[in-house]
Amino acid sequence: MKVVILAGGWGTRLGQMAEVIPKPMVYIGNKPILWHIMKIYSHFGFNDFIITLGVRGDIIKEYFYNFEALNNDFTVDLKTNKITYHNKHNENEWNVTLVDTGLNTLKGGRIKRIKKYLDDNVNMLTYGDGVADIDVNALLEFHNSHGKIITVSGVRPSSLFGEFEEVNGHVVSFTEKAKSAKSFINGGFMVFSKELLDYLTEDEDCDFEFGPLENLASQGEVMVYKHGGNWECMDHERDVIYLNKLWKENKAFWKVW
């Protein structure tokens, strides 16, 4: 079973950060958010990844090509060019396939273009900018229970603004990013059967949420796994600051490993 991570978009809402590096490579602590997402899946035993590349995909390729050097202490013998690593990272079981799916290709086209790398009928799919304390095994069990083509994880997004609670005119508590109780959004962390690919094309303008997913929903082929826990998306610069704040304060809810 593969875990497909969509990591090729422009990330324009991140502003100047996205002009330098792709959004999945923006750091939380001393690791890119892409690493954090992969650690979530790896914790549940899913270590076979496909990363769909596009905008500045070379930076993601370089990260994994140089993964040993970037994640270990080492000594270089400049006479022989021999490298000796002194410690060992914890990602030894990861198998990472990096696929260039086009600079301007929309999500549906990117998924279709990695078809030849999908060996199993059921696979995982998520975005390269969202983290959650989701139980991936429970998500997969739910998908296998209903027999439909795709399961999306429904999450309740945080409010853009902080909220406060009052009693008799007195403010008694503040919530930095409160959850909205109005509706669910697709938080990524999806599971799909390969039949999904029949609804997609390799065309650049083949989207995923708009068009294919809507058509599947109208046919009753989309189910939702309701995640009642925490979820955040790195969409704006303020999200980068917030996620780094949680990490620094040891409050990173997604650190299930």
Residue 17: is its pLDDT beyond 90?
no
**Whether 94 contacts 42, CB under 8 Å:** yes
Q: Which residue has the higher pLDDT, 11 or 27?
A: 27
Residue 166: is its pLDDT beyond 70?
no
- Whole-prediction pTM: 0.91
* DSSP symbols for 92-120: TT-EEEEEE--SS--HHHHHHHTGGG--S
CA distance 24 to 6: 9
Residue 165: is its pLDDT beyond 80?
no
Q: Using 50, 70 and 90 to split pLDDT, how confident is the model at 183?
A: confident
Q: Using 50, 70 and 90 to split pLDDT, how confident is the model at 177?
A: low
Domains of the chain: residue spans and CATH: 3-248 (3.90.550.10)
* The dihedral formed by the CA atoms of 99, 9, 107 and 237, expressed in degrees to the nearest 10: 130
Burial call 33-62: b when 16+ CB within 10 Å, e when fewer: bbbbbbbbbbebebbbbbbbbbbbbeebee
CA distance 61 to 59: 5
Amino acid 142: pLDDT: 97
Residue 18: is its pLDDT beyond 80?
no
**Mind listing the pLDDT tens digit for each residue in 187-233?**
999 999 999 999 999 999 999 999 999 999 999 999 999 999 999 99
**Whether 250 contacts 27, CB under 8 Å:** no
Express as a percent the part of the chain with pLDDT over 90: 81
CA distance 126 to 5: 5
Q: Which residue has the higher pLDDT, 160 or 81?
A: 81
> Per mean pLDDT, which range of 21-30, 52-61, 62-71, 181-190 is the poorest?
181-190
Residue 51: is its pLDDT beyond 80?
yes
Q: Tell me how long the chain is.
A: 257
Q: pLDDT averaged over the chain? A: 91
- The partner residues of 223 in beta bridges, in order of sequence, read 151
Express as a percent the part of the chain with pLDDT over 70: 90
Contacts of residue 21, defined as CB under 8 A and 6 or more positions apart, other chains included, come to: 56, 59
Contacts of residue 97, defined as CB under 8 A and 6 or more positions apart, other chains included, come to: 2, 49, 50, 51, 117
**Whether 150 contacts 190, CB under 8 Å:** yes
Residue 175: is its pLDDT beyond 70?
no
Residue 164: is its pLDDT beyond 60?
no
